[in-house]
Amino acid sequence: MNDAQGRGLTRRSALAASAGAMCFAFASPVRATPDKMQDVIKAFTGGKPVTEGRVTFEITLLVENGNSVPLSVQVESPMKARDHVTRIGIFNEKNPLPDVAIFHLTPRCGRAQVATRMRLNDSQMITAIAEMSDGTFWSATSEVIVTLPACVED
Amino acid sequence: MATRALINIPKGARRGDIIEIKTLLSHPMETGFRTGTDGQLVPRDIIEKFVCTYNGEVVFSADLHPSVTANPFISFTTVAMESGALVFAWTDNHGKTQVQTARIDVA
């Protein structure tokens, strides 16, 4: 036992490290996403850079029924005339079409907070992107695992 | 396309309050990707546009795609400014629009 600790790398620590690496791989934004979603996001942002942050994305991580998945998006913003969220776009990578919905907000909304329900055809990454009145884009991404996908029954 | 629409807003609010609005329209949101029993594609029939106006001013709108569920649910917030009418309009991909109005009393 003392020997194993002395070596610094035990079976347990090696397992923990590899599990941690896997979690990191899933959370990493560099994970390859289908090109169609990237194209649609580029059309939404006009090719401007998107920064991760300021957007809170609430969606169940493990979905039993992909036909109806509640989701909500909140963006940190004062929602005043000079500084507010103008649009919130929601995108997916494995449904037939990459767009889900685009919400147009105004300072009259008071809060940058929207909710809806979407279909999920498969386990995939969902991205929410907010456009601010100053022209910057912010995003949040969530991975969702679906056990019964939508679009299977006719 | 006259179907049932449910609107949930607070009965009354004070000026300046941020109120939450929940809307749900009874609609199939047929994606256009499914085949029917005859083997043919079921034609697309979806709500494409949702607009909420408050005493004539657009406060919130949305573009919807086939990934939104049947009976589309949309929830958002608005600032209670004055008593009046909140008008909700859903437009489908054939250009038909359904309108529903709700009254809000602002103290």
Could you report the per-residue pLDDT of A106-118, keeping only the tens digit for each? 999 999 999 999 9
| CB-CB under 8 Å, A110 with B66 | no
pLDDT at A26: 40
Mean pLDDT over A96-125 rounds to: 93
In chain B, what are the domain boundaries? Answer: 5-31+44-106
pLDDT at B39: 87
pTM for the complete prediction?
0.83
- Pairing status of strand A137-148 against strand A50-52: parallel
The mean pLDDT of chain A is 82
**pLDDT above 90: residue A16:** no
Instruction: Establish how many alpha carbons lie within 13 A of residue B23's alpha carbon, considering only the half-sphere containing its beta carbon.
Output: 25
What is A33-148's CATH number, 2.60.40.2470, 2.30.110.10, 3.50.50.60, 1.10.10.10? Answer: 2.60.40.2470
Instruction: Tell me the C-alpha to C-alpha distance, in Å, between residue A2 and each of A7, A10, A15, A17, B22.
Output: 9, 11, 19, 20, 62
CA distance A18 to chain B (A): 36
Task: Report the SS3 class of residue A147.
Answer: strand
| CB-CB under 8 Å, B68 with A104 | no
Mean pLDDT over A63-75 rounds to: 92
Asked if the C-beta of A99 comes within 8 angstroms of chain B's C-beta atoms, the answer is: yes
**Taking Cα atoms as reference points, which of B34, B76, B84 lies closest to residue B54?**
B84
In chain A, what are the domain boundaries? Answer: 1-31, 33-148
| CB-CB under 8 Å, A103 with B61 | yes
**Taking Cα atoms as reference points, which of B74, B15, B25 lies closest to residue B46?**
B25
Instruction: Among B67, B75, B81, B86, pick the best mutation site for testing chain A contact (most A Cβ within 10 A).
Output: B67
Burial A91-117 (b: 16+ CB within 10 A, else e): bbbbbebbbbbbbbbbbbbbbbbbbbb
| CB-CB under 8 Å, A116 with B31 | no
Q: Find the Cα–Cα–Cα–Cα dihedral A100, A102, A103, A107, rounded to 10°.
A: 150
Low-confidence stretches of chain B (pLDDT < 50) are: none
CA distance B21 to chain A (A): 10
Mean pLDDT over A13-30 rounds to: 45
Fold for B5-31+44-106, please state it: Immunoglobulin-like (2.60.40)
**pLDDT above 50: residue A22:** no
| CB-CB under 8 Å, A115 with B61 | no
* Residue in the block written with tokens 């998107």: A50
